[in-house]
Structure 1
Amino acid sequence: MNPDLRPTPGSIPTSPGVYRFRDEHHRVIYVGKAKNLRARLSSYFQDPAGLHPRTQAMVSAAADVDWTLVGTEVEALQLEYSWIKEYDPRFNVRYRDDKSYPYLAVTLDEEVPRVQVMRGAKRSGTRYFGPYGHAWAIRETVDLLLRVFPVRTCSAGVYRSARSSGRPCLLGYIGKCSAPCVGRIDTSEHRALAEDFCSFMAGDANRFIRRLEKEMREAAQEQDYERAARLRDDIQALRTALEKQAVVLGESTDCDVIALSQDELQAAAQVFYVRGGRIRGQRGWVVDKVEDVDTGQLVERFLAQTYGGGESSDSSRDVPREVLVSDAPSDHGAVAAWLGELRGAAVEVRVPQRGDKKTLMETVHKNAEQTLTRHKTQRAGDLTTRSRALEEIQEALGLDEAPLRIECYDISNLMGEHVVASMVVFEDGLARKSEYRRFNVRGSAGADDTGSMYEVLTRRFSRYLDSAKKAGEAGGAVSTGDGPETVKPSSETGGGTEGAFAYPPNLVVVDGGRPQVQAARRALDELGISDIAVCGLAKRLEEVWLPEEEDPVILPRAGEGLYLLQRVRDEAHRFAVTYHRQKRAKALTGSALDDVPGLGPARRNALLKHFGSVKKLAAASQEEIAQVQGIGPAIAAAIHAKLTGDTEDDSSRSAGKRESENGG
């Protein structure tokens, strides 16, 4: 940390405000807000070892900090968003679209408004509807509505050409354009048509349908059946356009439904736009979590970016009466007040708890989860991205070559019972599941994670050396730690497990910090293997540990290298936990509890979850067993008797007594 960065004690005010961290080139790298500037800024100037890695990286890059006082928390929120938009700081969360969404747009700022498909940033003076998943969906809707609202859809060039020639385009001839270019309708009447089109799209559909039905009945009474038939078809066109938009809530409901899904490095947001009770559009964002924020802060950042006025000067049109969120924003009151100021009326921001709105929120959350999964899958499957990830790992760890084969190990146990380990293999950045392996930790060293890690690595690489020795005797290439040569598969090495252990990795990753890494390194050193790199990934702070270093290596949070290491570590953890659960379930299912009356699978699982093992269950008292949900006093007594052998002892004593009485 720059020693000149910290302001003089007492110089920071305790008022609400917004602060900026700048780097040595005076570029703004982070913007934040605070109810109490002194308390918030002081948190950055503690011992760097106690800071989150993302915060630590930001403070390390900063050379100066300044702040601006504001009157209220709402003003702080407004100024924070304005500065983030102006400076685009690299350590602030910035949501980006997971794809380019098309909108149905009406250019009300033009003399003769036009209906068209638009993408990208919103323009002032243009009314937007959507977004839609596909441009063809917009064109289908517009084609249906042009029967009733024949608004211009042609480009500026086509419009000028028709006006100069005095002949309308094809849509003008077939009645799907009112042809203002040739004077069939004046500009004020055409604008009224465009505004009616916008009203229908905004949810005021029933008014137009009722009006057309009234005109149809009047035409039928006047025996103008041709006009009545046209009106009937117009009504059907409007109803068909409405049917394309799913009804999810009451007709009077206008709301945005926002849900987030996240992992350690990324988050995805999904929004359903509901107007008049119908889903009018859907949109998704993804973000790299370069900033140390919790879920509530992510929601707050999202609301600020979505409604902050950056895409349209007329922000009040975009803010509905109600904003439903999957998690409450961190500063709920200020966010609600700010949105109310934008809309010019009260805005309710809340988490739905029951009913149709909660059901819809669950649907939106599933879409957010799918967005995040799809983004991660695309990111992991891209060859260029995988290559960049391996290069970043090579550079960060100081490896001689990119780690084309990575093996990761994780230990799973419950209070020392049923200790197991997993080995997962990634080659060229992709999982190679055929070479995954599981270990039962059976030695006395398995009492803790470091001892278990030492045992597992020793067993795995002893098998590797055995395979290398067999391959050498058969004339294959051998690696004993003195060079980069690897064992080639042959008939002597065998298939299955033996073949999997025949290939050495370029990098061994362990789930844990420095103790686990040092245990893994010790196992390799004792086997004489020195050409395999070892590192650990600590789950809490995503720090990369090397056995010979006292301080961790901090990889860029948004980098592909850390993302790949995290995927490898999470896969090893999943594989280990799955095996551990199988072992625990088998231990109870095949135990002496099988013939206890009234004890089915659900209750056995509840006992396992509560006590962790049959051994601990046997050591529990009858009263402790009865405290488990679903286990009554009678079943608890039966379990206790079965595991402690009280029934057998009583029977033995009774039998002995009878024998004594009979002189046996």
Structure 2
Amino acid sequence: MADPSSYRPKPGQIPDSPGVYKFRDEHGRVIYVGKAKSLRQRLSSYFQDLAGLHPRTRTMVTTAASVEWTVVSTEVEALQLEYSWIKEYDPRFNVKYRDDKSYPSLAVTMGEEFPRVQVMRGPKKKGVRYFGPYAHAWAIRETVDLMLRVFPVRTCSAGVFKRSAQIGRPCLLGYIGKCSAPCVGRVTPQEHRELAEDFCDFMGGRTGTYLRRLEQRMHDAAEEMEYEKAARLRDDLEALRRAMEKNAVVLADATDADLIAVAEDELEAAVQIFHVRGGRVRGQRGWVTDKVEAVDTAGLVEHALQQLYGEEKGDSVPKEVLVPALPDPVEPVTQWLTERRGARVDLRIPQRGDKKDLMATVQRNAGQALALHKTKRASDLTTRSRALEEIAEALGLDTAPLRVECFDISHLQGQDVVASMVVFEDGLARKSEYRRFQIKSFAGQDDVRSMHEVIGRRFRRYLTEKQKTGEWEERPEDAAEGAPEDAIEGATGGAVPTGGREDDGRPKRFAYPPQLVVVDGGRPQVAAAKRALDELGIEDVAVCGLAKRLEEVWLPDEEDPVVLPRTSEGLYLLQRVRDEAHRFAISYQRSKRAKTMKAGPLDAVAGLGDTRKQALLKHFGSVKRLRAATIEQICETPGIGRKTAETIVAALAASAPAPAVNTATGEIMDGAEE
């Protein structure tokens, strides 16, 4: 436990101005990010008598080893910078809302030439209009199925769309009238885009005008005795009304608002959000968080606003945001929301009427979510704690291994040898810390040598980054080692920093040591891992291996394995870690294998690498079409010059198969080469 006085800034060093500050631990990892109207007053409050601090604040300051700050001009800038740093560093002592599910949204890809309607999850993408999120994907599909009758927008994937265009026939939806079939030219790109825009307008709440226009068209068709057209319009109206009924009317037609409610206790808090557009509830979502910092309801609301609107701009931010408590001060948050929207945003507490009643409903949902989470969490926490304790007892560790790293080797008959590293912290997967490696120092099915190389590379990087000298040294061996593709930044030879941070001050990716290293394998793999650690002089990291055959746990220098009971939570956790490492390694190995697939006759073209082969096949679709192309057409492929195109044409002509001849008629038969 660190003494806060050991890193307390000297009197007069801290400026009396707005800013954002970071606490770092002994490894340089950011553990807390905060903002303040006055940095001097806020930071001074952390260095008072420990007995006077909140228990969570006391834990944070005794875990930290240093503090640093950045001065900004206004409180709005501080709010923006705080959000950016929390997202970048993922500090362990900040409030982090975690969702137990990925909520689906209805998305329209307006950035494409032919916009597509689909269900999307995950982070939002540029050029896509989103509606929702919704609680269930089936609810989106039911709504879309009803609306496609009126707005026959494309819903097929890029592959299906391209295939239909090649064969000149639409898919089933095109035949039954639920797609306008732009793939075969039934509508122009502009007409299809207008359909997509009408679809978005209707989903955005502008329903009244469209329904009245559709009803008028139905009456006009009936007066002109076009009864089939009138009946079709009548059915379209009914379909749209059924789609609208799926969203309950709760407020006035013109109301666009988000309602945020919070339910909390001493340890945890749950947040529920209702998205109301056009007076109807268009989506609902919720988060749960541990209260790892001393924060009140207003603070929880501010964190929720940051997470909800940090990546949003324009109409995605509503005109009105209703909350149970206002952040203090409220003006910077209101100004920040206004800047995100580009127009005024009203942030307030509902006092009366329908909005107050709906807020009570959202509050009940938040309370139920917290109660359900606590029921699940009690069992989950107990199980994880017991699993870590069982592992520590079985391996003879002094404390439970809070950070576990597992390594696995994967290859295909000795080719494309790769390795994976997965990380579990407190019994949970931490995917942002996953790493993958290429094994290039040798090829073959020698998993033991591969394991020794990977462990050595990982911990050599740790030792290098542990030195916080800030000096530079030449490390050309990194390139020879075969640096992991997405693991070591700058490890391609040349100069790399030997300090514990990158140029921008962030801690490097391999700076945090685990308490336990798990390898996928038995005694030989464990011995290789231990030998790699011994060569580097690392003695405070435990090593074990989990063999697949009998699920035995192997320890270094032990003749016999440790056998955990089949019902052991510790064994189950080790299996999860091992299986995750195996999955991650296999997926990487398959991606490498796909990149090195042969391109048939193109392999005979001198000087043509894998990248340009893939570019040619992507441009023409097949070797048959490439063989029929002219030199000028081949030159249109990115990266292909005229000289290379002439070489390709000559090589393909030399390798062209002889035509098949019908022995009965003597006619030359058409061949097919795809």
Distance (whole Å) between structure 1 residues aligned to residue 379 and residue 11 of structure 2 = 51
Residues 581-638 of structure 1, C-alpha deviation per residue, up to 9 Å, x if partnerless? Answer: xxxxxxxxxxxxxxxxxxxxxxxxxxxxxxxxxxxxxxxxxxxxxxxxxxxxxxxxxx
Partner of 1:96, secondary structure, is coil
Cα deviation for residue 381 of structure 1 reads 3.7
Matches within 5 A, 1:153-302: 153-302=155-304
Q: Find 2:60's aligned residue among 58, 61, 85.
A: 58
In structure 2, what residue type is equivalent to 1:288? D
Matches within 5 A, 1:268-417: 268-309=270-311, 315-382=313-380, 384-385=383-384, 387-388=386-387
Distance (whole Å) between structure 1 residues aligned to residue 5 and residue 130 of structure 2 = 51
Higher helix share: 1
Distance (whole Å) between structure 1 residues aligned to residue 101 and residue 112 of structure 2 = 29
Partner of 1:13, secondary structure, is coil
Residue pair 2:5, 2:47 contacting (<8 A) in 1 also:
no
1:148 aligned onto 2:146: no
Q: Find 2:27's aligned residue among 22, 25, 28.
A: 25
In structure 2, what residue type is equivalent to 1:360? L
Cα 1:51–1:393 change in 2 (3 A) is farther
Distance (whole Å) between structure 2 residues aligned to residue 248 and residue 384 of structure 1 = 42
Cα deviation for residue 369 of structure 1 reads 0.6
Indicate the residue corresponding to 1:139 in structure 2.
Answer: 141
Bigger shift: residues 23-32 or 218-227: 23-32
Distance (whole Å) between structure 2 residues aligned to residue 392 and residue 39 of structure 1 = 45
Matches within 5 A, 1:418-437: none
Cα deviation for residue 386 of structure 1 reads 6.8
Residue pair 1:379, 1:385 contacting (<8 A) in 2 also:
no
Cα deviation for residue 316 of structure 1 reads 2.0
Partner of 2:333, secondary structure, is helix
Cα deviation for residue 71 of structure 1 reads 1.2
**TM-score, normalised relative to structure 2:** 0.57
Residue pair 1:102, 1:130 contacting (<8 A) in 2 also:
yes
Distance (whole Å) between structure 1 residues aligned to residue 159 and residue 122 of structure 2 = 22
Cα 1:38–1:393 change in 2 (3 A) is farther
Residue pair 1:102, 1:118 contacting (<8 A) in 2 also:
yes
Distance (whole Å) between structure 2 residues aligned to residue 394 and residue 246 of structure 1 = 55
Cα deviation for residue 22 of structure 1 reads 1.4
Cα deviation for residue 393 of structure 1 reads 14
Residue pair 1:259, 1:270 contacting (<8 A) in 2 also:
yes
Please provide the CA RMSD for this pair: 2.2
In structure 2, what residue type is equivalent to 1:68? T
Distance (whole Å) between structure 2 residues aligned to residue 334 and residue 389 of structure 1 = 44
In structure 2, what residue type is equivalent to 1:225? Y
In structure 1, what residue type is equivalent to 2:350? P
Cα deviation for residue 331 of structure 1 reads 2.5
Partner of 1:79, secondary structure, is helix
In structure 2, what residue type is equivalent to 1:97? D
Distance (whole Å) between structure 2 residues aligned to residue 250 and residue 388 of structure 1 = 53
Distance (whole Å) between structure 2 residues aligned to residue 164 and residue 327 of structure 1 = 58
Residue pair 1:105, 1:118 contacting (<8 A) in 2 also:
yes
Cα deviation for residue 65 of structure 1 reads 1.2
Cα deviation for residue 41 of structure 1 reads 0.3
Distance (whole Å) between structure 2 residues aligned to residue 262 and residue 389 of structure 1 = 28
Paired residues in the alignment total: 395
Distance (whole Å) between structure 1 residues aligned to residue 287 and residue 308 of structure 2 = 10
Indicate the residue corresponding to 2:78 in structure 1.
Answer: 76
Cα deviation for residue 208 of structure 1 reads 1.1
Cα 1:393–1:362 change in 2 (3 A) is farther
Distance (whole Å) between structure 2 residues aligned to residue 365 and residue 40 of structure 1 = 32
Residues 450-509 of structure 1, C-alpha deviation per residue, up to 9 Å, x if partnerless? Answer: xxxxxxxxxxxxxxxxxxxxxxxxxxxxxxxxxxxxxxxxxxxxxxxxxxxxxxxxxxxx
Indicate the residue corresponding to 2:6 in structure 1.
Answer: 4
Residue pair 1:252, 1:276 contacting (<8 A) in 2 also:
yes
Cα deviation for residue 388 of structure 1 reads 5.0
Cα deviation for residue 389 of structure 1 reads 9.2
Indicate the residue corresponding to 1:112 in structure 2.
Answer: 114
Kindly name which structure, 1 or 2, has the bigger radius of gyration based on alpha carbons.
1
Matches within 5 A, 1:518-597: none
Cα 1:359–1:388 change in 2 (3 A) is farther
Partner of 1:67, secondary structure, is strand
Indicate the residue corresponding to 2:522 in structure 1.
Answer: none
Cα deviation for residue 110 of structure 1 reads 1.4
Cα deviation for residue 273 of structure 1 reads 0.4
Distance (whole Å) between structure 2 residues aligned to residue 14 and residue 381 of structure 1 = 47
Distance (whole Å) between structure 1 residues aligned to residue 345 and residue 371 of structure 2 = 32
Distance (whole Å) between structure 1 residues aligned to residue 71 and residue 58 of structure 2 = 25
Distance (whole Å) between structure 1 residues aligned to residue 245 and residue 76 of structure 2 = 40
Partner of 2:68, secondary structure, is strand
Distance (whole Å) between structure 2 residues aligned to residue 367 and residue 393 of structure 1 = 40
Distance (whole Å) between structure 2 residues aligned to residue 166 and residue 331 of structure 1 = 62
